[in-house]
Amino acid sequence: MADVELPEAKDPYEKVIALSVAILAVVLAFVDNTGNNGQADAIVKTNLASNQWAYYQAKSLKENFSANNAELLAALATTDAAKAKIEELKKEAERYDAEKKEIKTAAEALMKEAAQGQAIDDQCDVAALLLQISVVICSIAILVRWKGIYFAGLAVGVFGIYQGIVAFLM
């Protein structure tokens, strides 16, 4: 493999920009990691909520089955044993209804957590985009040697850092 020489920053202006770009890149890495974690958390919570809704649906089916059987048995039966079974089926339907409420609460909480993770990811996406643009603008400042471009790149970078902090605090 051929040896490749990397150019060295020779004057203080290039060194300051190179240091700025390195700092922006490190912040970008943290922001990107936070966004990925938020996205992964959102996916996991969405799957857990989906499982809870499926469980809720199963309980609804069982509740309906018990209630329908109780109604059918009430229409057909005349014995005391049948009346006892009707009461048992009604209690079972009520139990399923109570269980559904708990499951619904859990599913809705998981959905809120998933939305929070997605919001963090969305905020980090904006922050990462701004930081990437900032790195490019600051890199261009080295080539054109114009401080105005460098300061514009820093301004975009500061706004990207701010967006990253907002995401981190969510």
Please indicate, yes or no, if residue 3 is contained in any of the structural domains: no
**What range does the domain containing 92 cover?**
12-169
pLDDT of 111 over the 80 cut: yes
pLDDT of 131 over the 60 cut: yes
Helices of type H across the chain: 12-76, 80-144, 147-169
Please indicate, yes or no, if residue 66 is contained in any of the structural domains: yes
For 38-97, how does the pLDDT look when each residue is reduced to its tens digit (9 = 90+)?
999 999 999 999 999 999 999 899 888 888 888 887 777 777 777 788 888 888 888 888
| Band of pLDDT at residue 8, cut at 50, 70 and 90 | low
Give 144-151's long-range contacts (Cβ < 8 A, gap of 24+).
145/13, 147/13, 150/17, 150/20
Q: Give the number of domains in the chain.
A: 1
Please indicate, yes or no, if residue 125 is contained in any of the structural domains: yes
Please indicate, yes or no, if residue 133 is contained in any of the structural domains: yes
Work out the angle at residue 101's Cα, subtended by the Cα atoms of residues 98 and 106, and round it to the nearest 5 degrees. Answer: 135
pLDDT of amino acid 9: 61
Of 30-34, 88-92, 150-154, 155-159, where does mean pLDDT reach its minimum?
88-92
What is the rounded distance in angstroms from the CA atom of residue 128 to the CA atom of residue 132? 6
Please indicate, yes or no, if residue 114 is contained in any of the structural domains: yes
Please indicate, yes or no, if residue 7 is contained in any of the structural domains: no
Smallest CA-to-CA distance from 62 within 107, 88, 106, 100 is with: 100
pLDDT of amino acid 6: 55
pLDDT of 121 over the 80 cut: yes
Please indicate, yes or no, if residue 5 is contained in any of the structural domains: no
- Predicted structure pTM score: 0.72
* Phi, psi values for residue 136, rounded to 5°: -65, -45
